[in-house]
Amino acid sequence: MVIDLAPPPPPPPLVGELEVAGAAVGGKKEEREGEGEGEEVGVCGGEAVVVAAADAEVEGHPYDFHVSGPRNLPPPNWREIIRSSWKDPNYKRMVMACFIQAVYLLELDRQDEKGEEDGLAPKWWKPFKYKVTQTLVDERDGSIYGAVLEWDRSSALSDLILLRPSGAPRAVLALRGTLLQKPTIKRDLQDDLRFLVWESLKGSVRYIGALEALKTAVERFGSANVSVAGHSLGAGFALQVCKELAKQGVFVECHLFNPPSVSLAMGVRSMSEKASYLWKKVKASLPLTEEALPDSTKEEGSAKKKLRADKKWVPHLYVNNSDYICCHYNAPNCSTTTTTTTTTDGASDEQRQQRKASEIAGDVVAKLFVTSKGPQKFLEAHGLEQWWSDGMELQLAVYDSKLIHRQLKSLYTATAPSPPAK
């Protein structure tokens, strides 16, 4: 990793799931002897980052909000009531990523026996006028894997923000991904392997806890006032708990950063689909009327029509093509129309994106944001920091990708039984 004279923010304290090839443990920091004379060595995301102390312009822990957090935030004041920053999709993406980072740091603070006063995590939600009202704890190892953040009215009033800005959710459920540290690595990798084998996380106790927390938030505030955000493995959980509510007609805004897309089950299914495609090509050579079509073919056609007619829930996916864990979401169906819109921080236009989406609404089941100038190395491409970085450029690819279609098709069809919860 290249370090400029003004060092960039370090990567977040995490490593992508299923990196069993031997990546260094993230979030660990070592200091050489001799304050002010030696160098500071941080081991994050599998890479050693060496920063000369004399060159550091910003003092503090590498994961302090003012050190590695977003820059150029709009100041919190009463003007937010009139002109809400939350109407900017780039701002919303950035805040959701910061809330997930806060969950990573909640677990690290727990391991270091730090509280709200001396912990790193609170600094990642307080600037946005939110507070943590519930932490999701894995009963197997006591680790924190998620949190519910709610609008902090008292903190907002201190900056003369009398009302919650338009677009700001009342509550956000944030879920972290894999954290390769001794206290959490075993349970995190168990869920990684669960997804790898089953392409489902419903058998995990974390799925049950996240679903209960989401249902409680929806009952208190209403589905329109609740958002869900997850990164990596956490994005897998977020997708599945939101899908569960969507099946019941409850639609919650969902932001998925680097969602997992690789599994053995997907590979087997892909081979089956290819065989089925070849068989259909053979059958297509025989003239058949619609009455002569097999019932399964009719049902499949009706299911697709129903999917296009009934879909209402549109999750937001954030993908880096250099991240092989999530890049398969960017593979479109052959018959799907595509469109892209470039957006940059400071030049966003939600109405333009909505207009583009409505042009091909018949094929849209998700908003897929792809980095056009993002990190190229895998560990950075899978990292969370990129999603709040300044000057980030995204392409809004609004189409029905093959993997998205398969993931969301279960909303309208029967699903296979899941393994028992453990």
For 143-166, what is each residue's pLDDT tens digit?
Answer: 999 999 999 999 999 988 999 999
- Residue 212 has phi, psi (to 5 degrees) of -65, -40
For 32, other C-beta atoms within 10 Å of its C-beta total: 12
Q: Which long-range CB contacts under 8 A does 132-141 form with residues at least 24 apart?
A: 132/102, 132/106, 133/171, 134/213, 135/106, 136/175, 136/206, 136/209, 136/210, 136/213, 137/209, 138/187, 138/205, 138/206, 138/209, 139/205, 140/187, 140/205, 141/183, 141/184, 141/186, 141/187
- Residue 67 has phi, psi (to 5 degrees) of -95, -50
- Residue 351 has phi, psi (to 5 degrees) of -65, -40
* Angle formed at CA 361 by CA 360 and CA 367, multiple of 5 degrees: 95
Asked whether the beta carbons of 229 and 253 are under 8 A apart, the reply is no
For the record, the structure tokens of 88 come out as 């900017």
pLDDT band at 310 (very low <50, low <70, confident <90, very high): low
The lowest-confidence range among 175-184, 285-294, 307-316 is: 285-294
Contacts of 378 (CB under 8 A, 6+ apart): 16, 322, 323, 324
Residue 352: per-residue pLDDT: 55
What is the CA 231 to chain-centroid distance, rounded?
Answer: 4
Q: How far apart are CA 216 and CA 211, in angstroms?
A: 9
Fold designation for 80-261+313-331+365-414: Rossmann fold (3.40.50)
Contacts of 196 (CB under 8 A, 6+ apart): 18, 262, 263, 264
Residue 235: per-residue pLDDT: 95
For the record, the structure tokens of 167 come out as 């677009």
Residue 49 predicted with pLDDT over 50: no
pLDDT band at 192 (very low <50, low <70, confident <90, very high): confident
pLDDT band at 359 (very low <50, low <70, confident <90, very high): very low
Q: Which of 265, 247, 92 is nearest to 165 (CA)?
A: 92
Residue 358: per-residue pLDDT: 45
Show me where the domains of the chain are located.
80-261+313-331+365-414
End-to-end CA distance of the chain: 39
3-class SS of residue 241 = helix
For the record, the structure tokens of 332 come out as 């479109």
Residue 285: per-residue pLDDT: 57
The pTM (predicted TM-score) of the whole model is 0.73
